[in-house]
Amino acid sequence: MEGVGAAEREVVSYCTKSGRGTRLIPPGTLKSVHFVKTPHYVQVSGMADFSKMLINAEGGGGELDPHGQDGLGNPIGGLVFTNAFGRKLSQAHEWHSFMDDKSYCLRVCKEGNSAWDYCKNIYDELGCNFNMPTGPDDGNDFESCEGDSAQIVGVYTENGVVSTFFQSQTQQGQPVPPPKPAPPVSQCKPFASSELEGTLKTPFAHAGTVGPVSASSNSTSAGSSSTSSTSSSTSSSSMSSSNYTGTPHRMYPKPHSDSWKYEKQLPLTHRIVKSLGILPPAIEEVRKTKLTDPVPVFEEWNQAIYILPWALAPFLVRTCLYHMDPAFQIGPWAMWTGLVFFALSFGLYWIFFLNHLARKYGYFNGGTGRDTIPYSEVPKVILEVVAGLMLRPAMVVFLTYDPAAPPSMTLWAPLQLFFFTLVEDFYYYWAHRLCHEGKSLWNLHRQHHTTKAPTTLLLGYAGQMQEVFDILGAPLVSWLTFPLPFDVFMAWMIIHISIQLHGHCGARLWHGTILTGPYLRPFGMELISEDHDLHHRHGWRESYNYGKQSGVWDTLFGTKGERIEGHNGNLLRNHFVY
């Protein structure tokens, strides 16, 4: 007999009450039902005799979730709706469910920045007891309760060191850690099992109410079963065709979501990313650190060793060509093409270098993994990165390049770069802050904040309007405010690539920027990579650290946050980073 796990792509919906157009769970199948509503999720668990639905111990249990290995979900196209957190039924994008022949559990998480934390689907072989710990179940209770949110599964703190357990570690002989304790519940109200049965007079009639209606869905090898409760409504639907070829369900970045790289049959974009070797190192591959370990300072002069040769190379090449033949001219199209390939080369070099630094020095908040690119988002991220590498050089050439003009860069260039960067950061600061504080503008920025621990390539994980502003809008308005000559603008463009990448890499270094750091450090207004890392980690609609190239505007407008690891009392100075 085929088990739950083997049939996970093709399961269909079951309900306890008729009227939703699904198959029915036979009366007496559910031996107990425990419904709990918490601030972050609703959960249903209990005991059952699923032999009535042709599920037995020989077939084995399994797990269902909205993602699956390829983003299509298990089951393919499976959806869950709930009114547990509002008046109307709305789709829950993060949920997971386990069942075997005698037990079941389902958790449906409230939309928000903590949804994936409470509905992780990376422990799909460890069952209900590990993923959704509950109190004792004697197999005959039917109750609806309020409860506290559980502790985050898989995250452990010992002697001040935070670590995350990953299921793959069991393949290396590491034992599964003990499950978290069951969270306390209160206001439990019993109800009769007969309330789960019968017929809905008006299917989905309670979609706009909060009263007692049907509750949640639990998956079986034949499908999902909807039970009833006294607090909220959660229903599920699925497409049972194993030949479904629609658009993959969007997956949010999370640790190990790039496990697709181990597959043999991959689309072209995925093969390119994999072959370039630019995916970030997993938490298991980097140095293990504590929050209290000193953070090495990556001094600006130290950074300049790796960045300035690239930033000045276009100017030096143009200068050499000009002195060899002053009449020789490089056309705008040739200049643009050269800059595109040069920017791409520098971007790859800097990603390799940042990944090396992450392996050597570890990650901020080192006990948790860094988010990576899920299967469904690879084409989008690559498109955004390539667009940035093509459009920004086009803007630089269009605005400032004159083939007949000789190359020019004066001793004032460092100050020109500093003031231009402050202007650009001013426009970026206010656009960024308004995207957080304005309800309609938040929709333009929300996608970028679904990553709580970003890595380099997730720089390009954002909505199209945000990307257009980041790539063209802010630099264009800044240049109109404070114009730069071509060669200086080129240098800024290259250095800015390094800032954008290191701000999202997570490498555990006190890593500022050579454009503004030397001028701002004496005043405590510098920006380092941890500042933007904390903006992602702690920020959602409300956040702080809105600047991306300096801390000037955050300081002046009262939005600068405190550092957790890279504060002045926890720095390793006089350290050469290589």
Which amino acid appears at position 25 of this protein? I
Letter for the amino acid at 325?
A: D
How far is the C-alpha of 546 from the C-alpha of 553, rounded, in Å? 8
Per-residue pLDDT of the chain (578 residues; tens, 9 = 90+): 566 777 787 888 888 888 777 888 888 889 999 999 999 999 999 999 888 888 877 777 888 988 876 667 788 878 888 888 887 888 888 899 998 888 999 999 998 878 888 998 888 888 899 999 988 777 788 999 999 999 989 888 877 777 788 887 787 788 899 899 999 988 889 998 888 888 766 554 444 333 333 333 333 333 333 333 333 444 444 333 333 333 344 467 888 888 888 888 889 999 999 999 999 998 888 999 888 899 999 999 999 999 999 999 999 999 999 999 988 999 999 999 999 999 999 999 999 999 999 999 999 988 778 889 888 889 988 888 888 889 999 999 999 999 999 999 999 999 999 999 999 999 999 999 999 988 788 888 888 888 888 999 898 888 888 888 888 999 999 999 999 999 999 999 999 999 999 999 999 999 999 999 999 999 999 999 999 999 988 877 778 999 999 999 999 999 999 999 999 999 999 999 99
Q: Are 227 and 108 in contact (CB under 8 A)?
A: no
* Helix H or strand E segment including 345: helix 332-361
Q: Which residues pair with 99 in a beta bridge?
A: 62, 104
Backbone angles phi, psi at 177, to 5 degrees: -65, 160
Phi-psi region of 60 (alpha: psi -120 to 50; beta: other; left: phi over 0): left
Token readout for 262 is: 């181990």
Sheet holding 510-511, edge to edge: 510-511, 295-298, 571-572
| CA dist 189 → 132, 203, 230 (Å) | 20, 25, 9
3-state secondary structure 359-385: HHHCECCCCCCCEECCHHHHHHHHHHH
E strand intervals along 83-233: 90-91, 95-99, 103-109, 142-147, 155-158, 161-164, 185-190, 214-219, 223-228
SS3 63: strand
Distances (CA, A) of 170 to 65, 175, 312, 511: 22, 6, 49, 35
Q: Interhelix angle for 332-361 vs 486-502, to 10°?
A: 30
Neighbours of 326 (CB within 10 A): 9
Q: Count CB atoms within 10 A of the CB of residue 556.
A: 12
CA atoms within 13 A on the CB side of 68: 21
Would you call the peptide bond into 407 cis, given omega within 30 degrees of 0 as the criterion?
A: no
Contact 521, 512 (CB under 8 A): yes
- Residue 478 to residues 50, 340, 387, 482: CA-CA distances in angstroms? 65, 21, 20, 6
